[in-house]
A and B are shown apart, each in its own frame.
Chain A
Amino acid sequence: MAETRCPMCSKLNPDNLESCQHCQARLKPLIVSGDEKGQTVRPGEAPVKKATAEFEKVTLPPQSPIRPGEAPTKKDTGELEQALPAWLRSLRGQEDTQDETPAETPAGPVEASDDRSTGETGETGAGLRDWLAGMIEKPADEVEQAADWLSGIRAEATEDTLSSPEPDEMDQSGGEDWLARLGGTSEITPAMPAGADVLADEFDSEMPTPQQPEATPATEPSPKVVFPDWLAGLQAGVETPQETQVQQPGEAVPAESMPDWMAGLQPQAETPQEAHVQRPDEAAPAESMPDWMAGLQPQGTPEAASPAETPAVPSDALPDWLASAIRETVVDEVTVAPVSNKTETPDWLQDFRVEPSSEESDLADNNIETSHQPVAAADFPPKTEKPTEPMPGWLADIERSVGPSESTPALIVDHEGTMSGSATDAAYSMEMPDWINKLKPDASKTPPAFAGQAGDEEPEDLAPAELPSWVKAMRPVESVVAEARVTQPAEEGMVEQQGPLAGLSGVLPPSPGLGPLRKPPAYSITLQTTEEQQRYASLLEQMISEEATSQPAKKKKRDLSVRIIRWMIAAVLFLAVSVPFLTGVQLAPPSTLYPPELIAAFNTIGALPANGTVLLAFDYEPALSGELEAAAAPVFDQLLFLDTKLTFISTSPTGPILAEHFMQITRPAYGHQTSGEYINLGYLAGGPAGVLYFAVDPVSTAPLTVGGDPAWELPALQNIRTVSDFAAVIVLTDNADTGRTWIEQTAPYLGETPLLMVISAQAEPMIRPYYDSGQLDGLVTGLAGGKSYEQAVQMPGLSERYWNAFSIGLFVAVVIITLGSAWSLVGVLINRRKLREEKDVL
C-alpha cells in the first residue's frame, strides 16, 4: 500500500488518508499550482521517473490573466456549466484519472490539441465519434455559450499569440505544408478549447485589438481547408445564424445568445484587424489546402472555419506527429474541466465519459510535452536540446520559433475538490512515462508558494525532524494556524463570488492575518483563595480602612509632673546659687588649677611697661557680662596695679556701655582709677573691616571718644598712632568669631604688642587653638580662670564672690542631671519590661 509522507511531521501515512494520522495535517493540498507542472521535458530529453505524489503539491495559481489597466470582468463560471461543449463535458468524467496532466498549459498548444482531439476521438473508436455526433446535434446557442466561457478563460493567451506571428510559416503550402502550418499555428492561434472553435471567431472579434495584425492571417488559412469528410456534415450545424452575423464586420452578437459580461464587451470588439481576420476573402489561398479539404470549401462558411475546427481529420489521414499532437486534447480538456462544476454535468454527458486507455495516456503525455514546449524553450536554450526521436518539420519550427511565452496558464486545477484519494491512486497507478517523471518540481525554479504551503516544498531527501516539545511550543502562531487551515476539508473552502475565479471554491485559501486566527483561550480571572486567605484579606482591609480614617486629634494632656519637675529644678538651682552668694558661706574650696594660658596671660600682663596704654575691646553681650566681668576683673586689677592707661573700644553696639558698666562695678572694688582715667572710643563699625581699619589707622577709625572728645589728643593716646603703639591689646569676648576676627585682622599690625583674651568658657574650644599656635599671648577662660587669676594676683574680687555660688550650682546641676538620668533609665527599663510582658502575653 502506497504511503504518503506528511509534509508537517514527515511521518508515513496510508495514501488513502487526507489528513495525517499523527499530526492531523492535511496530506493532500487543496490547490495544484500550474507552476509545479510547468516543468517540461523537451523533445529528445529523457524523462525522469518521479513519484506521482509530487502532483499533490499545492502552490499558488499563476499570475492573474487580467492585464494592467484592464478592469476585471465579473464572471460566474457556474452559470457557464451548461455551456460546456459536449466533448468537454464528456471528458470531464476523466478528470479523476488524468490529474497528472499539468495544470499549466500554454494557451496556444491547448487550442491546437483541442482541435486535433476531435480527430483523435474519431480515430480511437466509434464512441468518440458518437460524442462528436452529439456535438453536431448540439444547438448553436449552447456552442456559443461554451465559447463565451472559454474565451473568458483564455483571453489573455489569445492576445499574446496574436501579437507574435511567424510570417515565414504562412508561406508554406501543400498537403504537408498546411499541416506544418497547422502545427506552426499551434503557438499563435488563440487558445480555444476543442469544440469551441465554432464560436472562436466571435470572441476574436470581441477581443482587444492586436498590436500586430500580421499574426491574424497565420491563423486563418488552414481552418478552411482541413475539414475532413466526417466533419462536412457538421458544417451546416455549426454554421448558425449567430455565427454568420458575428462574422460580418460591424455586426454584434445578439445579446440573448451570450452572457451579460460578454454583451458588455461587444461594442468594443470588432476592430479592423479582427474584421480582417474574419473576412472570408482574406482566408488562406486554396492552394494551401489539401485536396481533400478543397472540396469542403464551398460548403463551409468561411467565417465558421476557424483554425480550431480543422483537426477533425480521419485518423488514417493524420500523420503520426499529428496523432500525438491530438493527444493534447485530453490534457487540455482536463485543464479546462475544473472550471465548470462537475455536479452540474448533464446526465446525457455522463455517457461520454471515457476512461483513457494507456495508449491515450501516452499520447496525452506526448501532447503535454508539446504543450509545454514554450515553457521549456524559455527555461533552456533550444539548441541544447537533442531530440532523440524524429520530429516533423513544423514541430522543429515550433521549437525554434517559440520564445518565452508570456501567456498566462489557462487554468488552475483544484484536484482536492474533485478527486478523492482512491481516484488519485487510480489515475497515478498507470505506468507513467519517464518524461513525466521529470516533471518533478525543481525547488530552485519553483516560485515561492504561499505561506500555508511552505512545508510542501521540503525535499524528500531531508530527514524528518522530530521536534522536541519545547521547540513545537516555540513555533510561530502563523505556522500553527496554517497547519490548522490546511487540515480543513476542501468543502469548507471559500467560494469566490466575483472575479475570474467566481464560482470556484477553495481556490484561494484565506490569507493569514485577514481575520482572527483563532479564538484566544479564556482564562478565569476569579482569584482562587481559601477561607483563611479571605480572612486575612478582610483583616488587612479593615486595618487599611482604619488607617485611612482620620482620628480626632487628641488634646495634649499637660503633664503636670513635668511642669513640677521643671519648677523644682529651677528652684533648686536658684537656691543653690543664691544662698551661697547671699550668705557668703564658703562651701567650695579655692581652685588649685592654674592653666598654662592663664599663667601666660598673667606673666604677659605682669611684663607690661608702666604707664603704658592698653587697648581693651569689650566685645561681649550683656547676657554673659556676669561671667566676663568676673573673669576680667582680676586682669583689670593687675593692669591698674601697673598704672597702665586703659582705652576701650567695641565692635558691638552694646560694648561701650558695657565698658562703662564694668568700670562702675570694678572701680568701687579697687578704687584705682576714676572715670577720667580711661578713654572709651565707643563703637567700631564694620566688623572685620572696622577692626582692620582700626589696626591700620586707629586715629582715623575712632577719632572721638564716646563723649565726643577728640580721643587722640588725650594724654593717654597722644603717643598712639597705630595699634602696635599700644602696650597690649586685650579682647574680652564671649564669641569665638569675634575673637577670631581680632586675631586675624590685628595680628599683622601688632608687631611686638601682646594680644590677650578674656573669654567665656563656651568660647574656649574655638579660641584655644590660636593660643596653642602662638597667635595669642595669654588666655583667661571663664569664671574658673578669673578665680585662678584672682588667686594669682592675690586680689579677691568678683570671682571670689561668685565662686561658691558657681561651685554649688555646678554640683547641684550635676546631681540633678544624674538623678534625672537615673530616673529616665528606670523608666526606660520599666517600659521595656512592660513591652516585653505585653509581647509575651500576645
Chain B
Amino acid sequence: MRLKGIFSTSIAIATGLIVLAGYFLALPLLINLRVVILNWAVILAAFAVWIGVVNLFAVHAQKFRQKKAGRFYSLVLVVSMLVTLIIGLVTGPQSKLMTGVFNMVQLPIEASLMAVLAVSLTYASARLLRRVDMLSILFLGTAMLVLLGTAPLPFIGEIPLLSDLIRPFIAQVLAAAGARGILIGVALGILTTGLRILFGVDRPYGGK
C-alpha cells in the first residue's frame, strides 16, 4: 500500500473513531474534537456545493463553446446562473428581487412539473389494466382505496370503514411495516458501511 493510502486511511479511521467515541464518552476533549471535525465537514460540504455550481457552469459553458447538441439550453442555464448570482450578490438573498425570481420562476416550474406528474399518474392508472395480471390489479386496488379514503368525496363525504379503517390500515400498518423493513435494512447497511470504513476495508476517499 502506498504511503498516500496509508495516510488517508489513518485520517479517515481516526476521524470516525473520534466522532463515534463522542457519542459514548462525554469527555470535553472528545466533544471538542468532534465539533472541530464536524465543522470541517460542514465547510467542506459547503465548498463542495460551490464546486458543484462552478462545475455545472463550466460544463455547460464548454458545451456552448463547442456547439454541441442542446447548446441553446446550456446557454440559457449559464445566463440564468450568472444573472441570479449577480442579483443575489448585489441585492442579497432576502431582497424582493431575489425572492421574486424564486417565486416567479423556480417555484411555479417545479409545482407545474408535480401537477403534470399527477396527470400522468392518473392516465397510467387508467391504462394499468390493459395488462391484466395480479400485481396490476393489486396495485390499482390499493391506490383506489387510499385515494378514496384520504379525503371526503364531494357530495358523499367520507366513506364508512374506508376513511377511518381501511385507509389508515393500509397507510399505517401495511405501508409502515414495509417501511420499517426498509429502514432496518438501511440502518444495517449504514452500520456495515461505517464499520468497513473504520476498518479501512472501504476507502472511498482513496479511490477504492
Contact = CB atoms under 8 A, between A and B. Distances in A.
Interface of A: 565-566, 569-570, 573, 587-593, 595, 621-626, 653-654, 656-657, 660-661, 664, 680, 682-687, 689-690, 692-693, 696-697, 700-701, 706-708, 736, 740, 748, 761, 764-766, 768-769, 772, 782-784, 803-804, 806-811, 813-814, 816-821, 823-825, 827-828
A593 B38 contact: no
Given A657-B99, A813-B147, A820-B125, 5 more contacts: A566-B119, A592-B152, A593-B163, A696-B35, A828-B130
Interface stretch (B58-66, B175-183, B196-204): B175-183
Interface in B146-201: 147-148, 150-155, 157-158, 163-164, 168, 171-172, 175-176, 178-180, 182-183
A700 B39 contact: yes
10 contacts: A593-B158, A622-B107, A657-B98, A686-B41, A692-B38, A707-B93, A768-B171, A807-B151, A816-B125, A818-B144
Given A587-B154, A693-B35, A818-B144, A828 B132 contact: yes
Contacts of B93: 656-657, 682, 706-707
A569 B123 contact: yes
Which secondary structure dominates chain B's binding surface? Answer: helix
B111 A769 contact: no
Nearest to B149: A593
B42 A824 contact: no
Given A661-B99, A685-B45, A696 B34 contact: yes
Contacts of A623: 110-111, 113-114
Nearest to A826: B129
Contact of A765 (B132, B154, B155, B178): B178
Contact of B38 (A587, A591, A622, A689): A689
B122 interface: yes
A657 B102 contact: yes
Contacts of A657: 93, 98-99, 102
Contact of B49 (A653, A660, A664): A653
Interface string B105-139: 01100110110101100110111111010000000
The 7 closest A-B pairs by CB, nearest first: A820-B126, A623-B110, A765-B175, A685-B46, A693-B38, A686-B42, A686-B45
Contact of B119 (A570, A588, A772): A570
Nearest to B178: A765
B172 A768 contact: yes
A587 B110 CA distance: 28
B135 to A, nearest CB: 14
Chain B, interface size category, equals 35 or more
A807 B152 contact: yes
A573 B41 CA distance: 46
B46 A820 contact: no
Contacts of B42: 684-686, 689-690, 693, 701
B5 interface: no
B179 A765 contact: yes
B140 interface: yes
A728 B16 CA distance: 30
Contacts of B143: 817
Contact of A706 (B94, B125, B126, B179): B94
A660 B94 contact: yes
The listed residue with most A CB atoms (<10 A of its CB), out of B44, B98, B110, B129, is: B129
The listed residue with most A CB atoms (<10 A of its CB), out of B35, B116, B150, B154, is: B154
Nearest to B141: A821
Interface string B84-101: 000000001110001100
A825 B182 CA distance: 34
Given A656-B93, A824-B128, A768 B39 contact: no
B165 to A, nearest CB: 11
A99 B171 CA distance: 114
B31 interface: yes
A373 to B, nearest CB: 92
Given A657-B93, A827-B130, A700 B41 contact: no
Interface in B5-54: 23, 31, 34-35, 38-39, 41-46, 49
A570 B126 CA distance: 13
A824 B34 contact: no
B163 to A, nearest CB: 6
B103 interface: yes
B107 A766 contact: no
Given A687-B45, A769-B176, A680 B150 contact: no
Nearest to A761: B150
A686 B46 contact: yes
Contact of A589 (B31, B35, B123, B152): B152
B99 A664 contact: yes
B177 to A, nearest CB: 9
Contacts of B178: 765
Contact of B45 (A624, A690, A764): A690
A682 B49 CA distance: 15
A654 B130 contact: no
Contacts of A810: 147-148, 150-151, 153
Nearest to A766: B179
B183 A821 contact: no
B127 A626 contact: no
B114 A624 contact: yes
Nearest to B101: A657
Nearest to B48: A685
B39 A693 contact: yes
Nearest to B130: A824
B80 to A, nearest CB: 15
A588 B35 contact: no
A250 B144 CA distance: 132
A784 B151 contact: yes
